[in-house]
Structure 1
């Protein structure tokens, strides 16, 4: 993709809308919608890099209640012709066809390569990558198992959603609460993962979420690791103007 002059690509992750309660997260949702309204004026594309929701499950004919402001704004932006790309996170990994069918937003379940103005990007949420996260990797295999999803779908949504929301906050393997501090570059497993990927192929930028920490780490002379932070504590986002990538804090 060639970015038109004066346009930019925006990145955000880890909004966790609905946590710890829908009422408590509503001010964050309104702030995020304000950000979307702000960036749409010069956005060439918008990347949402996982955990937009603290819990999401698509039943046959039902999706979770709420998030009206966010979904409406995403529909407006998508309808205007600005492409939006969504990467599932560990909290909203049960995305299926709803975003694609209703909002015309493609959904990716694995990291993906992109090229903008001859700069190569490797983009994904970041959960389950690298040498760490072993407990979560085992749990993810259960959650993504077709039998588990089939059984969960047969549970009444009023019961299933409440159970999932409780586990989402209380279970550290899911919530990631034990990972919310900087471990040092040599112990950051997404940094290690990025360095391993560089042994296979060059990328200018690795862009991830999941860690809830805004981070910029130079991997070598030509490659950089970016973690987008979150919209719970930091309200940070990434912006690429065609030449440089910056992490910024949204202050409406």
Structure 2
């Protein structure tokens, strides 16, 4: 993709809408929608790197209630011609066609490589990558197992959502949410994963979410790692102007 002059590519991750309750997450949703409205003038593409919702499961004819403003704004931007790409996170593993069919948003279940203006990007949510996170990796195999999904689908949505929300908060293996403090480059497993990927091929930028910490780290003279932070505490996002990838904070919002 060649980015037209004056256009930019935007990245955001980890909104966890609906947590801890829909009422308390509502102001955060309004701020996120304001950001989407703010960037639509110069967005060449928008990448959402997972955990937009704290829980999401698509039954055959039902999706979770709520998030109307977010879904409506995404539909508006997609209909206007702005391509939107979504990478599922550990809280929204069970996407199965709704975003593609209703919003015309392409959904990815694994990290993927993109090239923008000759710059190579490696993009994903970040869960389960690298040598650690072993407990979560085992749990993810259970959650993505077709038999488990079939059994869960037979629960009434009210019960299924209630159980999932409880586990999302209480079980660290499911949430993948360690204490969000910087561990040092040698212990940040997404940094280590990015460095390992450079051993077989050059990439200019690695962009992930999941850690809930805004981070910009040089991996070598020509490659960088960027973690997008979240829309719970930091309200940070990534922006690529065709040459440079930077991390910014959205502050152009007034409650009203």
TM-score range, shorter chain: over 0.9
CA RMSD, 1 decimal: 0.6
* Alignment correspondent of 1:164: 164
- Aligned-pair distance for 1:179? 3.7
Runs of 4 or more, structure 1, over 4 Å off, are none
Q: Is the 8 A contact 1:49 1:208 kept in 2?
A: yes
Q: Is the 8 A contact 2:121 2:206 kept in 1?
A: yes
| 1:15 and 2:23 are equivalent in the alignment | no
How far apart, in 1, do the equivalents of 2:56 and 2:31 lie? 20
TM-score normalized by the length of structure 2: 0.98
How far apart, in 2, do the equivalents of 1:60 and 1:234 lie? 35
Structure 2 unaligned blocks of 5 or more = none
- Aligned-pair distance for 1:170? 1.1
User: What is the SS of the residue equivalent to 1:210?
Assistant: coil
How many residue pairs match? The answer is 252
- Aligned-pair distance for 1:99? 0.1
* Alignment correspondent of 1:103: 103
- 1:63-86 C-alpha deviation (Å, 9 max, x unpaired): 000000000000000000000000
Structure 1 unaligned blocks of 5 or more = none
- 1:146-174 C-alpha deviation (Å, 9 max, x unpaired): 00000000000000000001111111112
TM-score normalized by the length of structure 1: 0.99
Q: Is the 8 A contact 2:236 2:247 kept in 1?
A: yes
User: What is the SS of the residue equivalent to 1:11?
Assistant: strand
Q: Is the 8 A contact 2:135 2:173 kept in 1?
A: yes
After TM superposition, the structure 1 = structure 2 runs for residues 1-252 of structure 1, keeping only pairs within 5 Å, are 1-252=1-252
How far apart, in 2, do the equivalents of 1:174 and 1:251 lie? 31
Q: Is the 8 A contact 1:44 1:82 kept in 2?
A: yes
- Aligned-pair distance for 1:6? 0.2
- Aligned-pair distance for 1:180? 1.0
- Aligned-pair distance for 1:175? 2.3
Q: Is the 8 A contact 1:205 1:226 kept in 2?
A: yes
Q: Is the 8 A contact 1:179 1:211 kept in 2?
A: no
- Aligned-pair distance for 1:181? 1.0
